[in-house]
Chains A and B, each alone.
Chain A
Amino acid sequence: MTTLLDAPDNIVLKIKEIIAGDTAKIKLSNLGLNIGDNVIKIRSKKSGPVLLHNESNAISKLAIGKGLAEKIGVEEV
């Protein structure tokens, strides 16, 4: 398992754990990101957030701050 921040781009990743505070968990859940979801990192850059695609909501994208992306554990599918 690795963190969402360190995971490679453009491959399907499964969210295994979210080790963040309640507010951050609610924010992620509200935007449809939950443990067990499959996501694809579209783009990450040196500074700024990680851009990803949630397979269950295929048309929209999510930007997640670097700090929070570090607290999300993922595994390659």
Chain B
Amino acid sequence: MRDIKTIALIGQPNSGKSTIFSVMSDIKTSASGSTYEQKKSLINIFGEKFNLVDLPGIYSLNSSQNSEELTLDYLLKGKVDLIINVVDGTLLARSLELTVELLELGLPMIVAVNMEDIFSNYGITIDYKKLQEILNVPVIPTQALFGKGIKNLTEHCYKRIKGKSIAPGTLDYTHHFEMHLQKLYPVIEPLKEKYNAKTRFFAIKAIENPKVLPQDIREAVSDISSGIRRELEEEHGKDTFETVSYERHHLAMKMAEDISVISNRRSKPFIEKIDNLLLHPVFGNFFLVIFFFLYFLSIFVVGDFLAGLLESPLENLATYFQGLKEVNEFAWFSVNGAYQGLIGVVGIVLPYFLPLVFLTSLFEDTGYLSRIAFLIDGLMHRVGLHGKSVVSFILGLGCAIPAIYATRMLEDKRDRVISAMLIPFVPCSARITVIFALAAAFTGPIWAMVIFLYILLVIAIVGKVLSKFLSEPTGMVLEIPRLRKPLLKSSAKSTWLKTKDFIREATIFLIGGGVFLGWVEYFGVAQFLDAAFAPILHAILGLPEQLGSTLIFGFWRKELILVMANQALNVSTLSALPLTNAQVIVFVIFVALYFPCFTTFVVIVKEFSWKIATYSGILALAIATISAFLFKIILGA
């Protein structure tokens, strides 16, 4: 089989890497949001196949974040034939620091200077030819969002891979530092064969930050690098990381100055004026409260409207198989189960899922999430976390899985662990659906708000308690990226892709689960499942025992609870459930908190450990029981 060459996209977060990936791979992925996982796609250039890999965004190759470790590991050991370094032209000096590091790696490279439309709006002009001469790699201007420059970039990728191999240029550090590097080369040379990087990269890291080196090289250079580091520290009076990063910073700054011209604008762009208001201590917080209120209200109103539209046609479907009950009872239970599952997907979940995913994607693209992190930092400190964690919590409103992945952007393990333990409490789209659907059927939107506020309180208290058991956090540094206009088209595309994924995954679970519960009912197995949960649900919380079996399905997908509750209590609509308003609230509180879903559980195991995932599950079950019991007492359920 022919060897398929691999092109890897690498750049700093929010540089537009994923948008380029999306355009080059013929839009097989969502262009919204940040990349915390590696994405792959097979692309076709001039009739030939290539692998295109989108690596998680990184600031530098001095991994201080989990996502940076993954990217560095891939660059050193993975299959890479060409890297496309996506440079954010609006942050030229900072972006070029990563470019300098990538040059040191020595892999074939192309630089894509992205966001030309935006930096030119700020009066910045870049001399691409000059940059190309300095770096000795092709430099292509792009406006990824509009697909401009991508054709040129793709053609250059082809030429670069097919043509004669040209080594990227070398940017020299001070003579003194270069002399130190020479001492390390003979030790590294025999060991570097199994890695993609050049000897120079390992030598620089051996002095700058040996922690990022592969173990064999780190051990081999240990003595020499310690000696050089000591010497440099004595000479400069500061640690070597600072000395080397200062040199690289200087190289990047000089390069940025040489290739860019900034003309004076008479006034700030309008978007900057809006940004000042959004970050304002009074107006910013006021807008934040309004934002959250409108965010949830829109989801509720749109979801309720869509659910109402679908209710009657879906109910009519049941008449088509009503007669089957007389002919073949087992078949009726199976078909009815599948029907209940279908109602779950189309009638109950989708109406709330659509506005939620659309709005989250819309605001993620604007950069407003990091403004929320800035505004809310003081509040988050009260629960022992930084404002930065709030981004993964907001993503958790869509789904806990990307939220758990997003904790990779947190540098400190303690912050990651606390966030991962708290994210399962954040109501995901599935749980929001359960809350909204039951609230709409029984108690009205006010109680939905009360439940959300209570969940916030739970997150605050649990966060505070957990942070007491872990070390102090290190200081927060958060980038507030340029505010961007919301892009309806991009958000609509992202919503469409996420909805497709959701329907594909959830339909099997919900319809399959519905059929299975139909059989459980037919064979009379439900009573055993109900009995298992009876000590909590019935004895402590005073809820009907029959709801016990629904919790098993809720472990697979939380939305299943709605369908299963209907089936378990033998009614066709939620509003017909034989529960009082108080019982519904107690049940919703329990369901909203009782356990992360199966997939979230697996992702926590994968990202952290079995121990953390198990603690998270036990903690959730205990909190859910205590919370629901409290509500039972207060409401007299």
- Residue ranges of A at the interface with B (Cβ–Cβ < 8 Å): 18, 20-36, 42-43, 45, 47-49, 51, 56-65, 67-69, 71
Kindly list chain A residues whose C-beta atoms are within 8 Å of the C-beta of B478: 49, 62-64
Q: Does B411 contact A (CB under 8 A)?
A: yes
Are B477 and A65 in touch, CB under 8 angstroms? yes
Kindly list chain A residues whose C-beta atoms are within 8 Å of the C-beta of B375: 48
CA distance A33 to B249 in the complex (A): 9
B208 CB to closest chain A CB, in angstroms? 10
CA distance A24 to B386 in the complex (A): 14
Kindly list chain B residues whose C-beta atoms are within 8 Å of the C-beta of A59: 90-91, 118-119, 122, 482
0 or 1 for each of B114-130: is its CB under 8 Å from A? (1 = yes): 00001100100000000
Are B475 and A43 in touch, CB under 8 angstroms? no
Kindly list chain B residues whose C-beta atoms are within 8 Å of the C-beta of A29: 60, 62, 241, 245, 249
Task: In the A-B complex, list the 9 residue pairs whose CB atoms are closest, starting with the nearest.
Answer: A68-B475, A32-B94, A30-B59, A65-B476, A47-B378, A48-B378, A61-B480, A63-B478, A59-B90
Chain A: which residue is nearest B480 at the CB level?
A61
Are B246 and A68 in touch, CB under 8 angstroms? no
Are B246 and A20 in touch, CB under 8 angstroms? no
Kindly list chain B residues whose C-beta atoms are within 8 Å of the C-beta of A65: 377, 386, 475-477
With A27-B64, A31-B59, A58-B122 as known contacts, state yes or no: A64 contacts B475, CB within 8 Å.
Answer: yes
With most chain A CB atoms within 10 A of its CB, the pick from B262, B475, B476 is B475
Kindly list chain B residues whose C-beta atoms are within 8 Å of the C-beta of A22: 239, 241
Chain B: which residue is nearest A47 at the CB level?
B378
Kindly list chain A residues whose C-beta atoms are within 8 Å of the C-beta of B411: 23, 27
Kindly list chain B residues whose C-beta atoms are within 8 Å of the C-beta of A30: 59-60, 62, 64
Kindly list chain B residues whose C-beta atoms are within 8 Å of the C-beta of A23: 64, 411-412, 474
B472 CB to closest chain A CB, in angstroms? 9
Q: Does B281 contact A (CB under 8 A)?
A: yes
Are A24 and B477 in touch, CB under 8 angstroms? yes
Are B477 and A68 in touch, CB under 8 angstroms? yes
B525 CB to closest chain A CB, in angstroms? 54
B243 CB to closest chain A CB, in angstroms? 10
Q: Does B216 contact A (CB under 8 A)?
A: no
Kindly list chain B residues whose C-beta atoms are within 8 Å of the C-beta of A42: 279
Are A63 and B94 in touch, CB under 8 angstroms? no
B414 CB to closest chain A CB, in angstroms? 12
A53 CB to closest chain B CB, in angstroms? 10
Q: Does B545 contact A (CB under 8 A)?
A: no
Are B475 and A71 in touch, CB under 8 angstroms? yes
CA distance A57 to B482 in the complex (A): 11
Can you name 5 A-B pairs with beta carbons within 8 Å?
A30-B59, A42-B279, A45-B378, A64-B475, A64-B478
Chain A: which residue is nearest B281 at the CB level?
A45
Q: Does B387 contact A (CB under 8 A)?
A: yes
Kindly list chain B residues whose C-beta atoms are within 8 Å of the C-beta of A28: 477
Kindly list chain B residues whose C-beta atoms are within 8 Å of the C-beta of A43: 279-281
Kindly list chain A residues whose C-beta atoms are within 8 Å of the C-beta of B111: none
With A31-B59, A36-B246, A43-B279 as known contacts, state yes or no: A63 contacts B91, CB within 8 Å.
Answer: no
Kindly list chain B residues whose C-beta atoms are within 8 Å of the C-beta of A25: 239, 241-242, 245
Kindly list chain B residues whose C-beta atoms are within 8 Å of the C-beta of A69: 475
Kindly list chain B residues whose C-beta atoms are within 8 Å of the C-beta of A18: 242
Are A31 and B479 in touch, CB under 8 angstroms? yes
Chain A: which residue is nearest B478 at the CB level?
A63
A75 CB to closest chain B CB, in angstroms? 17
With most chain B CB atoms within 10 A of its CB, the pick from A23, A26, A65 is A26
